[in-house]
Amino acid sequence: MLKKHEKIYIYIFTKIFAFLPMCVFILNIFKNILKFFFIFFSIFSYFFVFLIFSWRLCFFSVFRVFSFYITYIFTKISKNIFFFFFIYFFLSFLFFLDYCFFFILHVYKKKYQKQFFFCIFCFYRTFFCLSCFFLSIIQSFFFLLHYI
């Protein structure tokens, strides 16, 4: 017969292991929501860049995000975890550098300093780069869980 504290330990462990599939389900929902926001903000960025700035900058943004998707597809096909981590974090770093370069290039120009839309766009770019970075971390985590 089990002692009282052993019954408590068994009860706690069964509750924890019963809750783990629910945690994975919640994390999958969270991952899908982040994917939706990533796609929405990337599409919105093309339109916003094209309206405010130029078609060259819009083309650069489109090319950058399509390269991200192509890398994602090739990584899923190859199923190489080191390639996955390297490419995702490298592209996230490029997103951050892209924002920094964009900010330095345009904020210090006189014609853009007083535009209200440009301030909104800089805030949006910051949010977009951070969301891409966190999305890459979360997707890398789920890819790692697949191999464990």
Sequential pLDDT tens for the chain (148 residues) = 556 655 666 556 555 555 555 555 666 666 666 666 665 655 555 555 555 555 555 555 555 566 566 666 666 666 665 666 666 666 666 666 666 666 666 655 555 555 555 565 566 565 655 665 566 566 556 655 655 5
The gap from C-alpha 102 to its chain's centroid, in whole angstroms, comes to 19
Determine the Cα–Cα distance for residues 39 and 106; give it in Å rounded to an integer.
25
Q: Where are the domains of the chain?
A: 31-147
Q: In 3-state terms, what secondary structure has residue 38?
A: helix
- Tokens 């996230």 identify what position? 92
Q: Which of 59, 67, 68, 62 is nearest to 35 (CA)?
A: 68
Model pLDDT, residue 72: 64
